[in-house]
Structure 1
Amino acid sequence: MPPENSASRALITAAVMLAVVMQVLDLTIVNVALPHMMGSLHANSDQITWALTSYMVANVIILPLTGLLVERYGQRKLMLWSVVGFVIASALCGQSHSLAEIVLWRFIQGIFGAALAPVGQTIMLGAYPPEKRGQAMAILGIGIMLGPILGPTLGGYLTDTLSWRWVFYVNIPFGIMAFLLMQMVPDSGKSAHPRPVDWLGFALMAVGFGALTAVLSLGDQEDWFSSRTIIILTLLTFLGLFFFVWRSLTVAHPVVDLRLLRDRNLSIGSLGIGIFGLALFGTMVILPIMLENLIRYEAFTAGLVMAPQGFGAMLAMMLAGRLLGRGINPRNIVIAGIVFGAYGSWLTTQYNLDISPGWVIWPGFIRGIGFGLITIPLFTLAFSTLSKAQQAEGSGIFNLMRTLGGSIGIAVVSTVMTQETQVGWSQMGGHINAFNPNLQNYLYAAGLTPNATTWQVMGNLLLNSQASMRGILDAFMLVLWGFLAMLPLILLLKKPKAVVAPDGAPGR
């Protein structure tokens, strides 16, 4: 039963918000610190993204177990242990001195952080009476969007004034406050007859998804299928996912009930949210590298110019909630979001090394509007044809695809950046020679003479930066195509039944 005391409800809300914001903040606060982490941990731009990918892989593996863990340990105990584990892993991330260390502790951090958002959502729904649950989800949605707003700015400030390690240490005070307030959360208690865990299916899923992410992240470094490691990982991916799907369709209590994907809206909606995850997290990887490594922004400045994307998303989410409440067809809202997201991404494909901060702020704000208009309506469409009994299992699939899409998106975008940078360097480098009259005219116009020093400057500075910019533009183009790929999927979704607006008027 929801607590009658509004003060108790406020404390429960604060506890859940602190835990969820801490977890969401960690997804974005690390991004602006990546260029600084590269130097400290002796990693290149492709390798350092493992600090993001390992976290998301752990989320993918643990998310399907959330319901089973709640049945065995109860909501409050699971949240308390998750907060404690998350804080300890954050402290260990902060003291890392090698790439292997940060990847390990980020993986453990992702294991403990996976349950915070879904269990927090369940606690919030239970704390509010039915007529106020929409308000509870709106509050939680604003908290979730604080991550993209505060993350880059706070991460930049901490990195510039202290060090990149403080983007992890900052979780400690948040976690302590969340742990103390979580004592007010009523415990749901253990289930008298918890479902059995399909450990074999869980192991197959972990092997399949883990190997897939490793292939995408290591493929470019290992020259793809000329490497024995990549071949072995690809075989593990195929075998793990094949037998995971087979087992999920044949056992009585699978880890993920893939039989629900017979529902067209859930299957298409889950695929759409996976592509959305690619666009969202891919963008959050590209921008800090471009702003700090190529345009030479300080981390705090990079965070400031990235923050408007979060503001745009938060405003659009509130607008989408109001439009859905008035009965507007969610398909139309998602299509509008795709248009905004694609236009904002197209603007980024026009970037060069001389752009002003406004060229980062406005496309980011427009793209953020697209993110906000897509999220809630797509969730509504995916669940509109499911029965109430199926929604919990459907939520596991939907969240799994969103996180998996983000994990794959980070790996793919990083590979595209690295590969296309090498292609650009080779193509443009061929024109830098003493026999190119256009280059000689450029040097004379700039007051330079074609000597050995000039060739070194051209090769080491200008060519490297221009080639890196080309790789980044190709990665932005991939994000643009991600948005466009969502459009035909949305048109295939069934239109949900008419919704009754809050004032009792029939929905449009």
Structure 2
Amino acid sequence: MSFATSESLVEYGSRRAIITITAIFCALLEIVDTTIVNVALQTMSGNLGATISEVSWVITAYAIGNVIVMPMTSWLAQQFGRRNYFAASIIIFTVFSFLCGNANSIGELILFRLLQGMGGGALLVTSQTIITESYPPEDRAKATALYGLGVIVGPTLGPPLGGYIVDNFSWPFIFYINIPIGIIAAILTILFVRSPKYAEKTKAADVDWIGIGLLAISVGSLQYVLERGQEDDWFSNTAILVLSVVAVFGIFFFIWRELTYRNPIVAFKVLRNRNLRVGTILSFVLGFGLYGSTYIIPLYTQQLLGWTALQSGLLMVPAALATAFMMPIVGAILKKGAPPQYLLAIGMTLFTMFCLAGYFILTPDTGRDSFFGMLMLRGVGLSLLFIPITAVSLSTLKGQEIGQGASFTGLMRQLGGSFGVAIINTYMSRRNALHRSDLVAHLNMNSGNAVNRVQQLQQGLMAKGVPADKALLSSYKIMDMSVMKQSSVLSYMDVFMALAIMFMVCVPVVLIFIRNRKSAEPVDLSSAH
């Protein structure tokens, strides 16, 4: 299928600036909405008369909508024209943001979030393609840096922004803030964004409807399993077991269908490009670390340190600013010819150091200042990961392949985050139970120290007017809570150590794997077109 060369889409001056800002804000909107609702679940539960388990579907539905649309984004842009598709996605996202804020029941809110997520899934991938093709080949690293601001900073901005809105306004405003930005972005897209000139579209009779159905069922089932697995006790739950089987067989038959059908909706053949294959794997690892760490740190500070959602979110802001500051610098370094694999190795090393720092500083009462250094390592490390990964992934792709490649890397980054949160939840739950068992086994309530501690607690409560028998019972409960808190801290430490090992192992793999292919297929941004 022919299309206009991407050189014809290169923009300059104020027009390129407008397109870039529009695309970045759209990517930022989509990413922020992934995490902004996390801090509002309790308020939504009370207002809508739903349980926390029911309200958590607000997060799950959005994620399912995202992953269903992402792989089809390149094909849909071809069918409707990239500008039209992008503008329509913004409008869908904006309209359903308004409807989410006006939902009168939990069922309505979940449905609207699913449809909002389907609009948002297109924004993330198409934004990357539009920014990449608006810049000449020699400035691709700069374009990647600008796009990366939204992808890396977005998950960090969600919790503090959501916490501020919930504390000072009401939960519907976490959706209403999308409306003015969405309206402006849609207008600017229609006025300034251009599309490749595709020679033909797939006729309705030739559309791979079976492939679309397999994609929706398999990826949707997989996302459900990842989002709900730990809460529903994984494979002991019938729905999780059935949907896991559906996901495995659905993905198998979907890939087989797309490799054999004459008009596939997902171009798996683009994965013949070795750089893109490496990039999709690294995107998964990046998503695992990015979303996993964004999830675990606020959870620790709120659950064990008693911080508010706003306080937990603000803790992450300085590191996000460090990432934003470093992005253009990393882009400039890449533009000067620095090998991406070396930047990736440094980024992996810094992220490993961040995880090790987390392992060593965590206590039941870690102070706020202790987090600053480790989070700065995270911020700088992420900037050294995102841009080189994108450079490796898209550098040797041309024209329509850029959009197809961006779909794969975006999907893998999203799935990496889903796998990361699911695995961290499960691992932490099981390690918590193990540590609690160990601590209880070593806690001899007949020992002098334990007896003295119980007596001190009992006397303190009695001094406050609590009867002796109730004071003794409360003392034992306090001791039990102390054991639970300590076991939780140990489980968080285990997660950080596991992440450190994961990224540490990636350092030599990145250096060896990419270097071995450099002579055959160089990572050269100037060869993108």
State if a TM-score over 0.5 links the two structures.
yes
Equivalence map 1:258-407=2 (5 Å): 258-350=268-360, 351-384=362-395, 386=397, 390-407=401-418
Contact 2:320 2:379 in 1 (8 A): yes
Q: CA 1:319 to 1:214, structure 2 compared with 1: closer, same or farther past 3 Å?
A: same
Q: What's the offset of the Cα at 1:426?
A: 4.2
Between stretches 222-231 and 327-336, larger displacement belongs to: 222-231
Q: Which residue of 1 is the match for residue 465 of structure 2?
A: none
Identify the range of structure 1 (424-433 vs 311-320) with the bigger mean alpha-carbon deviation.
Answer: 424-433
> Within 2, Cα distance between the matches of 1:471 and 1:35?
25
Would the aligned equivalents of 2:11 and 2:134 in 1 still touch at CA under 8 Å?
Answer: no
Distance 2:278 2:401 in 1: 16
1:387-446 superposed Cα distances (whole Å, 9 cap, x missing partner): 666444333222221122122222222333334334444444556674354422333466
Q: CA 1:225/1:334 → structure 2, altered by over 3 Å: closer, same or farther?
A: same
On the 8 A contact 2:37/2:174 being kept in 1, the answer is yes
Q: Say whether the 8 Å CA contact 2:152–2:382 is kept in structure 1.
A: no
1:214 alignment counterpart:
224
More deviation in 95-104 or 310-319?
Answer: 95-104
Partner of 1:483: 503
Q: Does 1:16 align with 2:23?
A: yes
Match of 1:198 among 208, 225, 229: 208
Task: Note the 1:232-243 alignment, pairs <5 A.
Answer: 232-243=242-253
Deviation, 1:95, is 4.8
CA RMSD of aligned residues (A): 3.3
Residue 374 of structure 1 deviates from its aligned partner by: 0.8
Task: Name the counterpart of 1:119.
Answer: 126
User: What's the CA shift for 1:240?
Assistant: 0.7
Aligned residue-pair number: 499
CA deviations on 1:252-310 (whole Å, 9 max, x unpaired) are: 33232333434443223211211211111111121222222321222222121111231
**Which of 420, 443, 453 is 2:431 aligned to?**
420
- Report the 3-state secondary structure (helix = DSSP H, G, I; strand = E; otherwise coil) of the residue aligned with 2:351: helix
Question: Structure 1 pair 23/424, CA: closer, same or farther in 2 (3 Å)?
Answer: same
Look up the match of 1:453: 474
- Contact 1:32-1:288 at 8 Å conserved across structures: no
Letter in 2 for 1:267: R
Distance 1:265 1:108 in 2: 33
Please say if residues 217 and 414 of structure 1, whose CA atoms lie closer than 8 Å, have aligned partners that are also in contact. Answer: no
2:4 corresponds to: none
State the match for 1:43 in structure 2: 52
- Please list, as runs of the form range in 1=range in 2, the aligned pairs for 1:123-272 lying within 5 A after superposition: 123-125=130-132, 127=134, 135-148=142-155, 150-188=157-195, 191-195=198-202, 196-272=206-282
| Secondary structure of 1:353 counterpart | coil
Shift of 1:136: 4.5
SS in structure 2 at match of 1:188: coil
Q: Percent identity?
A: 33
Instruction: Tell me which residue corresponds to 2:518.
Output: 495
TM-score by length of 2: 0.83
The answer to whether the Cα contact below 8 Å between 2:9 and 2:196 also exists between their aligned partners in 1 is: no
Q: Given residue 237 of structure 2, which amino acid in structure 1 is its aligned partner?
A: S
Moved more, 20-29 or 240-249: 20-29
Shift of 1:378: 1.6
Secondary structure of the structure 2 residue equivalent to 1:115 = helix
Residue ranges of structure 2 left out of the alignment (5+ in a row) = 1-7, 462-470
Q: Aligned residue for 1:472?
A: 492
- C-alpha displacement at 1:111, in angstroms? 0.3
**Segment drifting more, 114-123 vs 180-189:** 180-189
- Answer with 450-459 or 338-347: which moved more: 450-459
Q: CA deviation at 1:2?
A: 5.9
CA gap 1:415/1:165 in 2 versus in 1, 3 angstroms: farther
Contact 1:92 1:105 in 2 (8 A): yes
Amino acid at match of 2:489: M
TM-score by length of 1: 0.86
Q: Give distance in 2, aligned partners of 1:3 and 1:212.
A: 38
How much does 1:485 deviate?
A: 4.2
Q: 1:409 to 1:386 in 2, by over 3 A?
A: same
Equivalent residue letter for 2:475:
T
Give per-residue Cα distances to partners, 1:339-378, cap 9 Å, x unaligned: 0001101211231221111222321221121111011112
Describe the SS at the equivalent of 1:327: coil
Instruction: Give the 3 Å change call, closer, same or farther, for CA 223–480 of structure 1 in structure 2.
Output: same
Following the alignment from structure 1 to structure 2, what is the Cα–Cα distance between the partners of residues 260 and 72?
19
Letter in 1 for 2:323: A
SS at 2:338's partner residue? Answer: coil
Structure 2: how far apart are the matches of 1:294 and 1:57?
A: 30
How far the C-alpha of 1:30 sits from its partner, in A, is 3.4
